[in-house]
Amino acid sequence: MTDLSQVLYIDLLKRSLINLIYDHLDQPIKLLDGRVISTFQARMEGLDWPSNAHTMIGWRRLTNVQNCVEAVLRDRIPGDLIETGVWRGGASILMRGILKAYSITDRTVWLADSFRGLPPPSPDDYPADEGSDLHTYAELAVSVQQVQANFQRYNLLDDQVRFLEGWFKDTLPTAPIKQLALLRLDGDLYESTMQALISLYPKVSLGGYIIVDDYGAVPACKQAIHDYIDSHQLKADIQLVDWTGAFWQKVD
């Protein structure tokens, strides 16, 4: 049962993670597509790469993470929680904060990332990634030390947080993860999405959730999701979270 202090802690944690606290929220921001919007709208919808916030995913997708974590706790879906593609760590910090709020001590939050940005595209193996320049953005490279320091700011760095440092193709196939209740995919590329699904989807418990951050924003990511679902003939009732986020509950 949720009490008011749990609700208030998680709400304040989310506000802090997207920096609704210290940013000037009426400040205009110009997006890559030329649109000018307020900082508040950008943070609510996760439309920009914020200069200070600890996550870029915005309020609606953070709330989706919260809803999925609370659902697996409520429904006693066994397993750990993982994010593949963590950047400054904010969405994973929320996962750890929710476990703390509900006094859950038998689940781990895993963070998989190169901690040096995206790999260059490999169009011979993954043609859908051809032309991607995401690996050239220094802003997307955040070191593991910086992410750990971000966890420490919230007093949430402990042995229930584990880091898988390196390219997904090297770390995920042998990751010492037994079972997952939540798989959050945020690696942008077809390659990163597919590698995470191949290694980790079989470990997701029935009733667990798969969240896809870039389903709307990156066509190659959406293609990877559907290629995996189709090739495994899975039932996946994909629900949209906002302009880009999507998720489904594993039923087979």
Contact call for residue 147 and ligand SAM (CB under 6 A)? no
Contact call for residue 19 and ligand SAM (CB under 6 A)? no
Task: Count CB-CB contacts under 10 A for residue 232.
Answer: 13
Q: What are the residues whose beta carbons fall under 8 Å from the beta carbon of 137, sequence distance 6 or more?
A: 117, 118
CA distance 197 to 220: 14
Span of 34-42, 151-159, 183-191, 220-228 interacting with ligand SAM by CB under 6 A:
183-191
Letters for 81-120 (x = contact with ligand SAM by CB under 6 A, - = none) are --x-xxx--xx---------------------xx--xxx-
Burial of 17 (0-12, 13-18, 19+ CB in 10 A): buried
Pick from 192, 199, 244, 249 the residue near ligand SAM by CB under 6 A. 192
Q: Which two tokens stand for residue 203?
A: 């470990």
Pick from 42, 95, 128, 140 the residue near ligand SAM by CB under 6 A. 140
Q: Which two tokens stand for residue 95?
A: 């996962």
Q: Which residues pair with 212 in a beta bridge?
A: 185, 246
Span of 78-86, 98-106, 123-131, 229-237 interacting with ligand SAM by CB under 6 A:
78-86
CA distance 193 to 185: 6
Q: How near is the Cβ of 248 to ligand SAM at its closest, in Å?
A: 18
Contact call for residue 58 and ligand SAM (CB under 6 A)? no
Q: How near is the Cβ of 237 to ligand SAM at its closest, in Å?
A: 23
Q: How near is the Cβ of 9 to ligand SAM at its closest, in Å?
A: 19
- The answer to whether residues 107 and 100 touch, using CB atoms and an 8 Å cutoff, is no
Contact call for residue 167 and ligand SAM (CB under 6 A)? yes
Q: How near is the Cβ of 11 to ligand SAM at its closest, in Å?
A: 18
Pick from 186, 215, 241, 247 the residue near ligand SAM by CB under 6 A. 186
By beta-carbon proximity to ligand SAM, the closer residue of 143 and 239 is: 143
By beta-carbon proximity to ligand SAM, the closer residue of 116 and 203 is: 116
Q: What are the residues whose beta carbons fall under 8 Å from the beta carbon of 156, sequence distance 6 or more?
A: 93, 96, 97, 100
Q: Please give the helix or strand (H or E) that residue 201 lies within, else none.
A: none
Q: What is the 3-state secondary structure (H, E, C) of 127-181?
A: HHHCCCCHHHCHHHCCCHHHHHHHHHHCCCCCCCEEEEECCHHHHCCCCCCCCEE
**Which residues of the shown chain bind ligand SAM in the complex (CB under 6 A)?**
55-57, 83, 85-87, 90-91, 113-114, 117-119, 140, 167-168, 186-189, 191-192
